[in-house]
């Protein structure tokens, strides 16, 4: 049986080369954390946690171990100074006799509280053998890169139907047009959304659902999945991130609480609403899972006893070695039993949800034939193609949904990004399907006032978007909000120009990120005025592209943040919305440098989060060096939404 055609093979080879550039960049960043620095210097930079207490160690599924790390009582607060977020990769470090550190096991931070970190490590044997005091080093996500590398290698070997799908996704073979078919009556979808759903349900090979902000892309996917299940099909639903798959899985269960759905992934990284649907929870009462837990506890006991032996004679060394060998066998037996328990549960699952790179081989082994009828990938415009291929080879047809006019996937290597690693399969396939044979652009948006929709629609979607009557004219006045200093509540767009104020950007202390203190004061005034006029903190969001400005504003507006005000980066706000959004652009310099604000997709995300009012604060003298930002200022002038910061009352 033939494998992928020569063109697809060439494209896989190119992706492999680009992934190599990304791997080198990740390793270089990891090396830069420690090269030429003492442990104290690394700790001072926030990249190393030294001599923390290991307060709890317990087994997790598939050979992993969950550990809770807390402050050493003699050094209160040092865990909080370790700069890692949930999802960050950390390395458990071991000291040799001379005090030098070397990595022994990698893990992922799954939860963070004051003075405490919860980490899931991949290797039970290594973690079960450590002392009560541990060192953790912040690392780069090499596990995800390794899985994407495996995905490329597997794509080169697939045959038959899977090979054809890989060719189509890579743009090396054409997809067959969607044939006609009638959906079950869907009162929850408008006609625009039904047209997209028809592609998803009846596609021969690949369906593309292009969903601009607020157009109901997730609602369409929910109906696609439900109709596929009703037809007797088995669905694999994946995304690039845990947040995105939680949103899709929660939406599916809200539409049909009885849907046989399982959520892959660590329960600590899953939405609380989905905990009972995790593979861990679903297998909890299985006989083999219970036996596996007993075996792991026995293994931990053996390792603890081996470590406590104080004698160092030849006989003691042999006994310790035998204990470690026996513990290794117990861990292996436990993993086998857990896999069997998981396979039993998965046999009754109709919808399996997870992340593209979390679809681990030891959780769900890939066979020679696809084990799912349909692969549904939400936010496919944020999925790197090597990650997407991990799911593609497991299904008979593929439904991709996203918006390539919004933020692309993150690529650390500038060379790899420029050479095409950040270019997604979803975007390329949408661009190629000019006739709409396998794709549909959703055009009715249910989020923004029509005046807020006008600029992004014209600029990014060819003027195709239409505001649904339920949102077309809604304003803050409908919520009982009165006038405020930027303009009356009926005004929905205001662009505040800080040019000439002298509010210049600077590099935030102790980092490479940027901040703008003067502009932050303007944003603070605007936010406080909005709250005083009747906008509640949870109805408000502040978006700024730089972490330094996020920190500055979060400190200045701390009481409002505690009350529900959301201040985050553009990336952090993608997929979210608020009644009012205030944007702080930060960049202000004599050279007209805008940095990554030159990516128009970043601007598109930022200005499409608001439902009833959008306030943009920025320096036109700097930002207008970029053509897209210049167009925004021109639009504001044309519709009477422009004003200088000097016009704002103190």
pLDDT at 40 (0 to 100): 83
**Confidence class of residue 302 from pLDDT cuts 50, 70 and 90?**
confident
**Confidence class of residue 89 from pLDDT cuts 50, 70 and 90?**
confident
Q: What is the pLDDT of residues 22-69, one digit of tens each?
A: 999 998 988 887 777 888 888 888 888 888 888 877 777 666 778 888
In terms of Cα–Cα distance, which of 618, 579, 621 is closest to 602? 618
Number of residues written out for the chain: 650
Would you put residue 111 in left (φ > 0), alpha (ψ -120 to 50) or beta?
beta
Within 10 Å of residue 151's Cβ, how many Cβ atoms? Answer: 26
In terms of Cα–Cα distance, which of 447, 402, 451 is closest to 424? 402
**Dmax over Cα atoms in the chain, in whole Å?**
87
Q: Is the pLDDT of residue 361 over 60?
A: no
pLDDT at 571 (0 to 100): 86
109 or 289: which leads in pLDDT: 109
Q: What is the pLDDT of residues 543-552, one digit of tens each?
A: 999 988 998 9
In terms of Cα–Cα distance, which of 334, 332, 357 is closest to 269? 357
Alpha helices by DSSP H, listed for 231-349, are 242-255, 279-282, 287-308, 314-346
Token code pair at residue 434: 């000019």
pLDDT at 31 (0 to 100): 83
Considering the chain, what is the average pLDDT of its residues?
A: 87
pLDDT at 78 (0 to 100): 81
Within 10 Å of residue 472's Cβ, how many Cβ atoms? Answer: 15
Average pLDDT over residues 247-263: 93
Lowest mean pLDDT segment, chosen from 127-136, 165-174, 500-509, 632-641 = 127-136
Q: Give residues with Cβ within 8 angstroms of 341, minimum separation 6.
A: 283, 286, 287, 288, 289, 292
HEC-encoded secondary structure of 84-96: CCCCCEEEEEEEC
Would you put residue 510 in left (φ > 0), alpha (ψ -120 to 50) or beta?
left
Lowest mean pLDDT segment, chosen from 172-181, 246-255, 438-447 = 172-181
Lowest mean pLDDT segment, chosen from 34-43, 242-251, 568-577, 625-634 = 34-43
Q: Is the pLDDT of residue 196 over 80?
A: yes
Q: What is the pLDDT of residues 456-481, one digit of tens each?
A: 999 999 999 999 999 999 999 899 88
DSSP for 4-37 reads S-HHHHHHHHHHHHHHHHHHHHHHHHHHHHHTT-
Token code pair at residue 515: 């901040």
Cα first-last separation, the chain: 74
Would you put residue 9 in left (φ > 0), alpha (ψ -120 to 50) or beta?
alpha
Which range, 54-68, 151-165, 506-520, has the best average confidence (pLDDT)? 151-165
Token code pair at residue 461: 């979607």
pLDDT at 92 (0 to 100): 84
Residue 534 burial by CB count (10 A; 0-12/13-18/19+): exposed, middle or buried? middle
**Confidence class of residue 200 from pLDDT cuts 50, 70 and 90?**
very high
Report yes or no: 650 and 522 within 8 Å, Cβ to Cβ: no
CA 449 and chain centroid, separation:
28
pLDDT at 129 (0 to 100): 56
Average pLDDT over residues 397-412: 94
The dihedral built from the CA positions of residue 454, 460, 465 and 468, taken in this order, carries a sign that is negative
Q: CA angle, corner 216, sides to 211 and 219, nearest 5?
A: 115
CA 240 and chain centroid, separation:
6
* Full strand arrangement of the beta sheet holding 540-543: 566-568, 540-543, 578-584, 610-618, 493-497, 642-644
Token code pair at residue 643: 């004003």
């Amino acid at each position: 049986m033939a494998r992928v055609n020569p063109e697809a093979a060439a494209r896989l080879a190119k992706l492999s080369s680009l992934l190599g550039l990304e791997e080198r960049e990740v390793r270089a960043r990891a090396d830069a954390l420690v090269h030429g620095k003492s442990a104290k210097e690394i700790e001072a930079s926030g990249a190393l946690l030294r001599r923390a207490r290991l307060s709890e160690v317990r087994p997790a599924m598939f050979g992993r171990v969950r550990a809770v790390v807390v402050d050493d009582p003699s050094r209160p607060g040092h865990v909080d100074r370790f700069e890692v977020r949930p999802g960050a990769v950390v390395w458990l470090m071991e000291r040799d006799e001379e005090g030098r550190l070397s990595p022994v096991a990698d893990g992922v931070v799954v939860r963070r509280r004051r003075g405490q970190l919860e980490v899931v490590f991949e290797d039970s044997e290594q973690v079960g053998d450590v002392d009560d005091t541990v060192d953790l080093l912040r690392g780069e996500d090499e596990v995800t890169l390794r899985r994407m590398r495996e995905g490329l290698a597997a794509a080169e070997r697939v045959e038959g139907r899977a090979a054809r799908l890989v060719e189509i996704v890579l743009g090396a073979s054409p997809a067959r047009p969607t044939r006609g078919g009638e959906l079950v009556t869907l009162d929850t979808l408008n006609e625009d959304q039904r047209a997209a759903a028809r592609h998803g349900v009846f596609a021969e090979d690949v369906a593309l659902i292009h969903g601009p902000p607020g157009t109901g892309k997730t609602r369409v996917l929910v109906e696609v999945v439900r109709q596929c299940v009703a037809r007797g099909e088995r669905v694999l639903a994946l995304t690039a991130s845990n947040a995105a798959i939680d949103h899709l899985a929660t939406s599916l269960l809200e539409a049909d609480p009885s849907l046989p759905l399982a959520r892959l992934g660590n329960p600590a990284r899953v939405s609380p609403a989905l905990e009972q649907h995790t593979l861990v929870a679903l297998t909890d009462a299985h006989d083999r899972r219970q036996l596996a837990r007993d075996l792991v506890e026995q293994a931990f006991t053996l390792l603890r006893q081996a470590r406590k032996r104080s004698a160092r004679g030849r006989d003691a060394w042999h006994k310790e070695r035998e204990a470690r060998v026996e513990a290794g066998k117990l861990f292996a037996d436990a993993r086998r039993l857990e896999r069997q328990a998981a396979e039993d549960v998965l046999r009754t699952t109709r919808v399996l949800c997870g992340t593209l790179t979390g679809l681990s081989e030891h959780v769900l082994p890939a066979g020679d034939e696809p084990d799912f009828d349909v692969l549904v990938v939400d936010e496919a415009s944020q999925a790197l193609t090597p990650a997407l291929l991990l799911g593609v080879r497991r299904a008979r047809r593929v439904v991709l949904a996203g918006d390539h006019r919004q933020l692309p996937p993150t690529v650390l290597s500038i060379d790899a990004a420029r050479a095409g690693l950040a270019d997604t399969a979803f975007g390329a396939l949408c661009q190629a399907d000019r006739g709409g044979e396998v794709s549909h652009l959703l055009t009715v948006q249910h989020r923004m006032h029509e005046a807020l929709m006008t600029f992004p629609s014209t600029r990014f979607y060819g003027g195709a978007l239409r505001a649904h009557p339920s949102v077309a004219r809604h304003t803050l006045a409908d919520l009982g909000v009165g006038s405020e200093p930027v303009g009356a509540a009926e005004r929905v767009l205001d662009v505040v120009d800080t040019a000439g104020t002298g509010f210049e950007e600077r590099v935030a202390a102790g980092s490479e990120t940027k901040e703008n203190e003067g502009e932050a004061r303007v944003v603070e005034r605007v936010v406080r005025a909005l709250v005083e006029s009747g906008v509640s903190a949870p109805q408000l969001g502040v978006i700024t592209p730089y972490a330094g400005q996020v920190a500055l504003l979060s400190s200045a507006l701390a009481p409002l943040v505690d009350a529900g005000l959301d201040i985050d980066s553009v990336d952090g706000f993608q997929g979210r919305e608020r009644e009012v959004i205030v944007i702080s652009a930060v960049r202000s310099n004599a050279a007209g440098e805008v940095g990554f604000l030159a990516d128009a997709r970043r601007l598109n995300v930022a200005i499409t989060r608001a439902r009833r009012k959008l306030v943009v604060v920025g320096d036109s003298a700097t930002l207008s060096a970029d053509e897209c930002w210049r167009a925004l200022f021109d639009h504001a002038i044309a519709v009477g939404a422009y004003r200088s910061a000097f016009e704002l009352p103190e």
